[in-house]
């Protein structure tokens, strides 16, 4: 990776004094992850450019000399880390220009506080599709920004753009300030850190951002991303910034804590977040849960199995219903079940509550004796995650083998998608949705299933009903025919 800094204030070579690097020398600095070279491609009275060139050793990073997490720092040898500006560059910068960053210049102390016309150039900066964020980070700090998106592959124009830009920042600032901006903001832009983030990172952020971070309009995002989404640290950072500057409204911290809550790396969580993002203004999820709770209460059931329970949102509400004596949540994702166990605080429940609930790992297309014998089964926003031609197996597993008295199924109403402004026409609400049905399609499916397996079925809307396209979510409530009995 590569960074150049150019000074055009004569005598431009003063840059050498400020950085403690002689323009005629080439110097090497060993780093834990490679080696940094410093040299000057140009150095005269009018213009002086220093280049920090960092060789990252990808082999060591993959093979993980002595690092803790998951063996190496990188999962892949084929990796942009040796090339794109990132926390590696930040660390190199902190090490190579340590003195300048701390604002010392023994020989020419008068230079330290003198703003100079400086240009920083980074040929490869990760900026995934949000060039606006680059502007939002650097513009408030007074820089003129030039950005050029790198092509992904000239041979395949239909692959689109690369996630990188070449970035040039120009401004009249002190060298120390420019370095501190880069030191903090490069990892923020890259949104990945190659090392473990702990309390000392918080101290670094506050030290290097002391002069400017508190006044930065994006300070919440900077703190979160710098601290790698460690929420507790990010909150502490913001709290401590407020001490520095009193007029920051309290709501900022609130927003920071709530807007991007469920930030886990699990696929299930991201599904939830994305779906929620599409449907958020209507608080559809809450409506859905309340509708299902009301149906179950009305049906007078005592035992419920939640198929595809995910991270346990419905379960946690069902657990509060005292009339339910036995609850089982089943999901195919082990990770989702772990999150559910956390959400439900399974280990901390009093024994009498704990014995009412159980989480099971299982697939919906396999017959499973453990889900037989329940009064009710719920499949909330689940069927659309199955391939349509695997639905037949699910139907038999649920309606023929498990055969609960009541079955509640909800699924998106695709007609309603026209009401989601963010959703391009024809696109489903989530990438993992294999289908989304119209009301007619859902009802014809429900009628067919009910007829085959001996259930009665009715359909109910969930959420605000649009007069033309119907509700955002549709629900089918199946009730087992009494004459058919409990046996398939």
**374 counts as binding another protein under rule CB under 8 A:** no
Nearer to another protein, 272 or 287 (CB): 272
Least distance to another protein from the beta carbon of 314, Å?
A: 20
- How far apart, in whole angstroms, are the C-alpha atoms of residue 307 and residue 325? 17
Least distance to another protein from the beta carbon of 387, Å?
A: 8
**68 counts as binding another protein under rule CB under 8 A:** no
Stretch touching another protein by CB under 8 A, among 226-234, 293-301, 384-392, 443-451: 384-392
Q: Residue 485 contacts by C-beta under 8 Å, 6 or more apart in sequence?
A: none
Are 117 and 160 in contact, with CB atoms under 8 Å apart?
Answer: no
Two tokens, residue 419: 């009401």
**4 counts as binding another protein under rule CB under 8 A:** yes
**483 counts as binding another protein under rule CB under 8 A:** no
Residues 91-110 that bind another protein (CB under 8 A): none
Nearer to another protein, 40 or 445 (CB): 40
Q: Which long-range contacts (CB under 8 A, 24 or more apart) does 249-253 make?
A: 252/220
Contact residue for another protein among 190, 201, 368, 384 (CB under 8 A): 368
- How far apart, in whole angstroms, are the C-alpha atoms of residue 249 and residue 315? 37
Q: Residue 72 contacts by C-beta under 8 Å, 6 or more apart in sequence?
A: 60, 61, 62, 63, 64
The bridge status of strand 326-331 relative to strand 357-361 is: parallel
Residue 177 CA: distances (Å) to CA of 107, 152, 167, 221: 19, 33, 18, 20
Binding to another protein by CB under 8 A, coded x per residue (else -) over 391-420, reads -xx--xx---x-------------------
Nearer to another protein, 54 or 137 (CB): 54
Are 57 and 44 in contact, with CB atoms under 8 Å apart?
Answer: no
Least distance to another protein from the beta carbon of 28, Å?
A: 9
**192 counts as binding another protein under rule CB under 8 A:** no
Least distance to another protein from the beta carbon of 374, Å?
A: 16
- How far apart, in whole angstroms, are the C-alpha atoms of residue 302 and residue 325? 5
**26 counts as binding another protein under rule CB under 8 A:** yes
Q: What angle do CA 346, 350, 351 make, to 5 degrees?
A: 90
- How far apart, in whole angstroms, are the C-alpha atoms of residue 342 and residue 232? 18
- How far apart, in whole angstroms, are the C-alpha atoms of residue 182 and residue 461? 53
Least distance to another protein from the beta carbon of 159, Å?
A: 5
Nearer to another protein, 81 or 224 (CB): 81
Least distance to another protein from the beta carbon of 184, Å?
A: 22
Stretch touching another protein by CB under 8 A, among 79-87, 137-145, 286-294, 376-384: 79-87
Binding to another protein by CB under 8 A, coded x per residue (else -) over 435-454, reads --------------------
**365 counts as binding another protein under rule CB under 8 A:** yes
- How far apart, in whole angstroms, are the C-alpha atoms of residue 137 and residue 121? 16
Q: Residue 418 contacts by C-beta under 8 Å, 6 or more apart in sequence?
A: 425, 469
Two tokens, residue 274: 């994305």
Contact residue for another protein among 27, 77, 98, 211 (CB under 8 A): 77
Two tokens, residue 456: 């009665």
Contact residue for another protein among 167, 185, 324, 332 (CB under 8 A): 332
Least distance to another protein from the beta carbon of 1, Å?
A: 6
Two tokens, residue 339: 């999150």
Residues 124-183 that bind another protein (CB under 8 A): 124, 150-153, 155-156, 158-160, 162-164, 166
List 329's β-bridge partners, or say none: 306, 359
- How far apart, in whole angstroms, are the C-alpha atoms of residue 476 and residue 449? 11
The count of chain residues that interact with another protein, using the rule CB under 8 A, is: 63
108: phi > 0 → left, psi -120 to 50 → alpha, else beta; which? beta
Nearer to another protein, 79 or 303 (CB): 79
Least distance to another protein from the beta carbon of 48, Å?
A: 11
3-state secondary structure (DSSP) of residue 415: helix
Nearer to another protein, 126 or 220 (CB): 126
Handedness of CA 369, 373, 379, 380 (dihedral sign): negative
Stretch touching another protein by CB under 8 A, among 78-86, 228-236, 410-418, 457-465: 78-86
Least distance to another protein from the beta carbon of 113, Å?
A: 29
**80 counts as binding another protein under rule CB under 8 A:** yes
Residues engaged in binding another protein (CB under 8 A): 1-2, 4, 24-26, 37, 39-43, 51, 53, 58-60, 63, 76-80, 82-84, 123-124, 150-153, 155-156, 158-160, 162-164, 166, 332-334, 361-370, 385, 387, 389-390, 392-393, 396-397, 401
């Amino acid at each position: 990776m590569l960074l150049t800094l150019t000074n055009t204030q004569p005598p431009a070579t003063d840059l050498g004094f400020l950085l403690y690097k002689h323009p005629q020398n080439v110097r090497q600095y060993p780093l834990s992850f490679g080696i940094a070279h410093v040299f000057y491609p140009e150095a005269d009275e009018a213009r002086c450019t220093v280049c920090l060139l960092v060789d990252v050793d990808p082999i060591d990073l993959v093979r993980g000399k002595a690092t803790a997490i998951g063996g190496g720092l990188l999962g892949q040898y084929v990796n942009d880390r040796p090339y794109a500006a990132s926390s590696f560059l930040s660390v190199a910068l902190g090490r190579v220009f340590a003195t300048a960053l701390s604002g010392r210049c023994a020989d020419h102390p008068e230079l330290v506080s003198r703003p100079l016309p400086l240009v920083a150039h980074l040929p490869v900066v990760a900026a995934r599709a949000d060039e606006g964020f680059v502007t939002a980070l650097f513009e408030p700090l007074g820089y003129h920004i030039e950005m050029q998106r790198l092509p992904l592959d000239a041979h395949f124009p239909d692959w689109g753009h690369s996630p990188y830009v070449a970035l040039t920042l120009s401004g009249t600032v002190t060298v120390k300030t420019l370095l501190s901006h880069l030191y903090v903001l490069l990892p923020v832009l890259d949104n990945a850190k190659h090392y473990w983030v702990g309390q000392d990172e918080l101290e670094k952020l506050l030290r290097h951002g002391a002069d400017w971070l508190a006044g930065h309009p994006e300070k919440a995002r900077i703190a979160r991303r710098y601290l790698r989404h460690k929420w507790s640290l990010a909150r502490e950072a913001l709290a401590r910034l407020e001490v520095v500057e009193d007029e920051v409204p309290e709501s900022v911290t609130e927003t920071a804590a709530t807007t991007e809550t469920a930030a886990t790396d699990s696929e299930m969580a991201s599904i939830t977040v994305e779906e929620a993002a599409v449907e958020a203004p209507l608080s559809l999820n809450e409506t859905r849960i309340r509708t299902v709770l009301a149906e179950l209460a009305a049906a007078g059931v005592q035992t419920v199995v939640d198929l595809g329970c995910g991270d346990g949102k419905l379960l946690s509400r069902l657990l509060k219903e005292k009339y339910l004596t036995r609850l089982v949540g089943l999901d195919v994702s082990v990770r989702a079940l772990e999150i559910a166990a956390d959400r439900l605080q399974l280990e901390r429940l009093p024994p009498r509550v704990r014995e009412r609930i159980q989480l099971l790992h299982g697939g919906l297309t396999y017959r499973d004796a453990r889900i037989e014998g329940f009064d009710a089964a719920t499949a909330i926003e689940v069927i659309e995650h199955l391939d349509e031609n695997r639905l037949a197996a699910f139907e038999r597993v649920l309606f023929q083998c498990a055969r609960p008295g009541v079955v509640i199924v909800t699924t998106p109403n695709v007609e309603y998608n026209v009401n989601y402004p963010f959703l391009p026409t024809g696109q489903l609400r989530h990438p993992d949705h294999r289908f989304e049905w119209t009301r007619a399609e859902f009802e014809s499916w429900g009628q067919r299933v009910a007829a085959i397996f001996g259930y009665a079925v009715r359909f109910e809307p969930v959420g605000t009903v649009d007069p033309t396209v119907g509700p955002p979510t549709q629900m089918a409530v199946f009730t087992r025919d009494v004459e058919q009995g409990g046996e398939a």
